[in-house]
């Protein structure tokens, strides 16, 4: 059901950008998750409103549409629901991306709907998130949907978690109620392997605005940050920075001649890619996989000139000391801590397709910049979302199932466990006839390991 | 040795470059859709950086409504010459002349771009078409994928989009299908302007304040031109204006502005209370689902 909110409840802040200095701000990618009717659309609307990210014509469009629907107050979910089917049915179907910024930071928000295809949407949103905000209704506390979402966030190893306990106005801002929910959740998060310091619980009312952007006067017993305050100050640095160096080769750059037509670039041979984890610098010993040849980084080049070092997330062009046959699909890795090269994989699959998965299926697997054929082996155990254990081994996987599955690939792949390096521990399974993405795959058992 | 952390613009630039390289690695015949506007000019700038010091390994396609600003065509031709790019132009007028398209009563040609675009994609067998769409522009675009599959009719089916996981893009398509690729999906309008300033990217002069004879229609300042205006009671007056988007001259409004520098434009955009499409594009104001409808039928 779509929620409505009174316009007078929305108090836009003073324009934060007006006094904005020209300093470099970083970017936080985060996701929201929650079950139906927990007020997530209103919370997202509140964040957008109060950070002045909703502009006059968008507000007017929502007001016009609300009047057309016979509503007396603007329906904030209309800001969030982008597709006609969503507006007509009052539900959110697909992951939507939202953008807002404050003087401190820019934000990319993957807003994931809770009910239909929750695994597909939560996995999608969480796969690029450095933090997730999980919503619960203060009247209901931790429900099964919360446990399912938290399990997916733990599986995907989202580094930081916020539990936003919403609608605290509807429980009279009762400290005992809220601390009981916080305690329940701390236990759940711990059992899923989240370190205590990675989890924050914030009591909010998205409708009234308590503790979203402005500190609430109704919660004197709460001394933590507001939601926005936390989002602005939490460290962005992901685990990729501390992992060993990995970079998949996307494209080989061989200019042969420069734009002036001379041939001083004749010997230039650069390997273009985005640093997936760790750091790379000239002089580093690297290994090129799956071939296994060792060499040294000669230069880390960009269009703006060579770099002294490049870290995770940076797109670069690497020049190597030795002339090795390298092409798209190869992985350049730190020689001292290389990934293992194997064609037998123990994996955790999130099955996202309507069509079921059976052992023996022949599919395509995309890992880094390489796509290879794969044969599905045994289904070894499926996650029971109620008990959070990997129990039965069904004959086939259905949509939204998360399970341990063995795979055999046609070509050996350089992989790390997902829990160690996300980029080299993740892959897609693709349906050969339709090209559709069937599954999100993780090397190893990152959730089962956390649960045990 | 540790590397410096990326700021927001660095992170967005690296993501866009990654997308360009993925498409160059996986598709046979990509093309950049180029309008001369700031977003497609940014695309070209990022493509150059993605493949430097080698040239950009694909051409540009301009679907030309004929309702152009001469400054933009001049800019386009200089850009193409300077970078040694190949430019394909699909003239909407050719489709009108041979009867494949009929001029609309209101003279607007933006909606007429879809057929020449799809015909050109088929004729040149383009399999990946880069566009400058951003998810912050409009609600339907907020749910668009970075790599988005289109059938032989160019249609977008929002209900059956592939999930986009990590930065593993799945561009598999059948013969006759193609993908639309949006490398600057995650940029906001302000990011675009700040980056243009940081990188000193040249733009068509109409983005900066200048004097121009304009007339008022539907709450917008439209320029005098062969597209039908001013009409009847519409009076031409000279105003100091600039453009926030470049589109068909018949439906792209100028905004009154004195901003002659990027600093002033950024200050203006920052303080603005209207989104760029809402303010200046009549074609997006037609209905609540205007953009979604046009995307479904093959427009970007």
Tell me, yes or no, if B278 comes closer than 8 A to chain A by beta carbon. yes
Pick the closest to residue B182 from B205, B201, B156, B208 (CA basis): B156
Whether B1 is in a domain gets the answer no
Tell me whether residues B51 and A272 touch, CB distance under 8 A. Answer: yes
B229 with B180, same domain: the answer is: no
Residue A4 confidence (pLDDT): 37
Average model confidence (pLDDT) for chain A? 86
Whether B142 is in a domain gets the answer yes
B110 with B226, same domain: the answer is: no
Residue B164 confidence (pLDDT): 93
- Domain limits for position B251: 205-284
Whether B234 is in a domain gets the answer yes
Q: Where are the domains of chain A?
A: 7-236, 241-334, 340-451
Q: Are strands A362-367 and A426-430 parallel, antiparallel or unpaired?
A: antiparallel
Residue indicated by tokens 């790019």: B85
Residue bearing the bigger pLDDT, A257 or A96: A96
Tell me whether residues B170 and A94 touch, CB distance under 8 A. Answer: no
Residue A74 confidence (pLDDT): 63
Tell me whether residues A314 and B6 touch, CB distance under 8 A. Answer: yes
Residue A312 confidence (pLDDT): 93
Interatomic CA distance for residues B83 and B102, integer angstroms:
36
Residue B147 confidence (pLDDT): 94
Could you tell me the pLDDT band of residue A256, with boundaries at 50, 70 and 90? confident
Interatomic CA distance for residues B201 and B199, integer angstroms:
5
Residue bearing the bigger pLDDT, A181 or B101: A181
Gap from B241 CA to chain A (nearest CA, Å): 20
Could you tell me the pLDDT band of residue A25, with boundaries at 50, 70 and 90? confident
CB under 8 Å to A417, separation ≥6 — which residues?
Answer: A425, A443, A444, A446
CB under 8 Å to A13, separation ≥6 — which residues?
Answer: A50, A51, A52, A213, A214
C-alpha distance from residue A409 to each of A279, A343, A372, A412, B6 (Å): 29, 5, 7, 6, 35
Q: What proportion of chain B, given as a percentage, has pLDDT over 70? A: 88
Pick the closest to residue A228 from A207, A212, A251 (CA basis): A212
Instruction: Identify the three-state secondary structure at position B15.
Output: helix
Give the range among A22-31, A292-301, A311-320 with minimum mean pLDDT.
A22-31
In chain B, which residues have their Cβ closer than 8 Å to the Cβ of A436?
162
Whether B223 is in a domain gets the answer yes
CA of residue B121 relative to chain centroid, distance? 16
Could you tell me the pLDDT band of residue B293, with boundaries at 50, 70 and 90? low
B36 has pLDDT over 60: yes
Q: What is the mean pLDDT of residues B36-65?
A: 95
Q: What is the pLDDT of residues B200-222, one digit of tens each?
A: 999 999 999 999 999 888 778 88
Could you tell me the pLDDT band of residue A18, with boundaries at 50, 70 and 90? very low
Provide ipTM, 2 decimals.
0.89
Whether B2 is in a domain gets the answer no
The radius of gyration computed from the CA coordinates of chain B, to the nearest angstrom, equals 19
Give the range among A163-172, B132-141, B280-289 with minimum mean pLDDT.
B280-289
Whether B116 is in a domain gets the answer yes
Range B121-126 contact pairs with CB under 8 angstroms and sequence separation of 24 or more: B121/B31, B121/B154, B121/B178, B124/B29, B124/B31, B124/B61, B124/B88, B125/B29, B126/B29, B126/B30, B126/B31, B126/B61, B126/B178
Whether B31 is in a domain gets the answer yes
Q: What is the pLDDT of residues A195-241, one digit of tens each?
A: 999 999 999 998 888 999 889 999 999 999 999 999 999 987 666 77
Global confidence as pTM: 0.90
In chain A, which residues have their Cβ closer than 8 Å to the Cβ of B279?
57
C-alpha distance from residue A92 to each of A62, A88, A282, B133 (Å): 16, 10, 48, 22
Q: Which CATH number fits domain A340-451: 2.40.50.100, 2.40.30.10, 2.30.30.90, 3.40.50.300?
A: 2.40.30.10
CATH of residue B109's domain is 3.40.50.620
Could you tell me the pLDDT band of residue A2, with boundaries at 50, 70 and 90? very low
Whether B71 is in a domain gets the answer yes
Query: What b/e readout covers B227-237, taking b as 16+ CB neighbours within 10 angstroms?
Result: bbbbeeeeeee
Tell me, yes or no, if B231 comes closer than 8 A to chain A by beta carbon. no
Give the domain A7-236 fold.
Answer: Rossmann fold (3.40.50)
Q: What is the mean pLDDT of residues A64-92?
A: 64
A13 has pLDDT over 70: no
Kindly state the DSSP code that residue B4 receives in the 8-state scheme.
Answer: P
Instruction: Identify the three-state secondary structure at position A244.
Output: coil
What's the farthest any 2 CA atoms get from each other in chain A? Answer: 76
Tell me, yes or no, if B162 comes closer than 8 A to chain A by beta carbon. yes
B292 has pLDDT over 90: no
- Bond into B53 cis (ω within 30): yes
Q: What is the pLDDT of residues A140-155, one digit of tens each?
A: 999 988 998 999 999 9
Query: What b/e readout covers B30-39, taking b as 16+ CB neighbours within 10 angstroms?
Result: bbbbbbbbbb
First to last CA, chain A: 38
Average model confidence (pLDDT) for chain B? 86
How many independent structural domains does chain B possess? 2
Tell me whether residues B143 and A124 touch, CB distance under 8 A. Answer: no
Kindly state the DSSP code that residue B102 receives in the 8-state scheme.
Answer: -
B167 with B216, same domain: the answer is: no
Q: What is the pLDDT of residues A79-134, one digit of tens each?
A: 666 555 555 555 556 788 888 888 899 999 998 877 656 788 889 999 999 999 99
Give the range among A63-67, A143-147, A404-408 with minimum mean pLDDT.
A63-67
Q: What is the mean pLDDT of residues B71-82?
A: 95
Q: What is the mean pLDDT of residues A424-436?
A: 96
B219 with B175, same domain: the answer is: no
Interatomic CA distance for residues A201 and A340, integer angstroms:
38
Residue indicated by tokens 């949509």: A399
| H helix runs in A328-404, sequence order | none
B27 with B129, same domain: the answer is: yes
Gap from B245 CA to chain A (nearest CA, Å): 16
Do A7-236 and A340-451 share a fold?
Answer: no
In chain B, which residues have their Cβ closer than 8 Å to the Cβ of A435?
149, 170, 172-174
Architecture of domain A241-334: Beta Barrel (2.40)
CA of residue B45 relative to chain centroid, distance? 14
User: DSSP states of A120-176 as a string?
Assistant: HHHHHHHHT-SEEEEEEETTT-S-HHHHHHHHHHHHTT-SEEEEEEE-GGGGTT-HH
């Amino acid at each position: 059901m779509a929620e409505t909110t009174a316009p007078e409840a929305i108090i836009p802040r003073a324009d934060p950008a007006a006094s904005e200095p020209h300093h470099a701000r970083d970017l936080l990618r985060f996701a929201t998750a929650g079950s139906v009717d927990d007020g997530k659309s209103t919370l997202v609307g509140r964040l957008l409103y109060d950070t002045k990210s909703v502009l006059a014509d968008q507000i007017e469009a929502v007001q016009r549409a609300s009047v057309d629907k016979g509503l007396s107050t603007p329906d904030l979910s209309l800001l969030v629901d982008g597709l006609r089917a969503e507006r007509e049915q009052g539900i959110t179907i697909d992951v939507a991306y939202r953008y807002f910024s404050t003087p401190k930071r820019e934000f990319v928000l993957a807003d994931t709907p809770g009910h239909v295809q929750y695994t597909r949407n939560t996995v999608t949103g969480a796969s690029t998130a450095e933090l997730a905000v999980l919503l619960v209704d203060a009247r209901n506390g931790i429900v099964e949907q919360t446990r399912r979402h938290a399990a997916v966030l733990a599986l995907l190893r989202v580094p930081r978690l916020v539990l936003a306990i919403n609608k605290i106005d509807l429980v009279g801002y009762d400290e005992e109620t809220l601390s009981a929910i916080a305690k329940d959740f701390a236990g759940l998060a711990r059992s899923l392997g989240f370190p205590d310091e990675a989890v924050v619980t914030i009591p909010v009312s998205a409708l009234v605005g308590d503790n979203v952007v402005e500190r609430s006067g109704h919660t004197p017993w709460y001394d933590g940050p507001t939601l926005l305050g936390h989002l602005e100050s939490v460290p962005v640095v992901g685990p990729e920075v501390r992992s060993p160096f990995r970079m998949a080769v996307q494209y080989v750059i061989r200019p042969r001649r420069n734009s002036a037509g001379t041939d001083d670039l004749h010997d230039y041979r650069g390997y273009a890619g985005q640093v997936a984890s760790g750091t790379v610098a000239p002089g580093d010993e690297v290994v090129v996989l799956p071939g296994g040849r060792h060499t040294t980084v000669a230069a880390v080049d960009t269009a703006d000139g060579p770099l002294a070092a490049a870290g995770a997330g940076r797109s670069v062009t690497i020049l190597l000391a030795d002339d090795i046959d390298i092409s798209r699909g190869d992985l350049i890795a730190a020689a001292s801590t290389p990934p293992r090269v194997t064609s037998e994989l123990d994996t955790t699959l999130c099955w996202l397709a309507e069509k079921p998965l059976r052992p023996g299926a022949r599919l395509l697997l995309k890992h880094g910049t390489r796509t290879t054929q794969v044969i599905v082996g045994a289904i070894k155990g499926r996650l029971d979302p109620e008990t959070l254990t990997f129990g039965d081994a069904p004959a086939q996987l259905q949509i939204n199932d998360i399970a341990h599955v063995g795979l055999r690939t046609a070509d050996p792949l350089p992989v790390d466990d997902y829990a160690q390096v996300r980029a080299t521990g993740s892959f897609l399974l693709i349906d050969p006839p339709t090209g559709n993405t069937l599954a999100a795959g993780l090397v190893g058992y990152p959730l089962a390991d956390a649960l045990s | 040795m540790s590397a410096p952390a990326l700021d927001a613009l660095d992170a967005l630039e690296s993501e866009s470059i990654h997308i360009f390289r993925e498409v160059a690695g996986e598709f046979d015949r990509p093309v950049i859709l180029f309008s001369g506007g700031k977003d497609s000019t940014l695309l070209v700038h990022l493509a150059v950086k993605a493949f430097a010091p080698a040239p950009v390994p694909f051409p540009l396609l301009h679907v030309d409504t004929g309702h152009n600003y001469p400054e933009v065509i001049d800019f386009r031709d200089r850009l193409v010459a300077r970078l040694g790019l190949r430019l394909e132009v699909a003239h909407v007028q050719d489709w009108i002349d041979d009867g494949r398209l009929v001029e609309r009563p209101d003279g607007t040609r933006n909606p007429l771009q879809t057929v020449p675009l799809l015909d050109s994609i088929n004729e040149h067998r383009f399999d990946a078409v880069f566009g400058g769409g951003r998810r912050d522009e409009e609600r339907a675009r907020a749910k668009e994928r970075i790599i988005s599959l289109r059938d032989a009719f160019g249609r977008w089916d929002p209900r059956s989009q592939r999930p986009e996981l990590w930065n593993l893009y799945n561009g598999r398509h059948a013969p006759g299908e193609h993908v639309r690729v949006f490398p600057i999906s995650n940029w906001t309008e302000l990011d675009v302007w700040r980056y243009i300033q940081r990188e000193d990217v040249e733009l068509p002069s109409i983005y900066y304040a200048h004097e121009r004879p304009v007339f008022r229609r539907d709450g917008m300042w439209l320029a005098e031109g062969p597209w039908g205006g001013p009409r009847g009671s519409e009076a031409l007056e000279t105003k100091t204006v600039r453009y926030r988007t470049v589109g068909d001259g018949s439906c792209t409004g100028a905004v009154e502005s004195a901003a002659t520098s990027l600093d002033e434009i950024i200050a203006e955009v920052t303080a603005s209370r209207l989104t760029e499409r809402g303010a200046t594009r009549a074609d997006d104001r037609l209905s609540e689902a205007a953009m979604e409808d046009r995307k479904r039928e093959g427009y970007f």
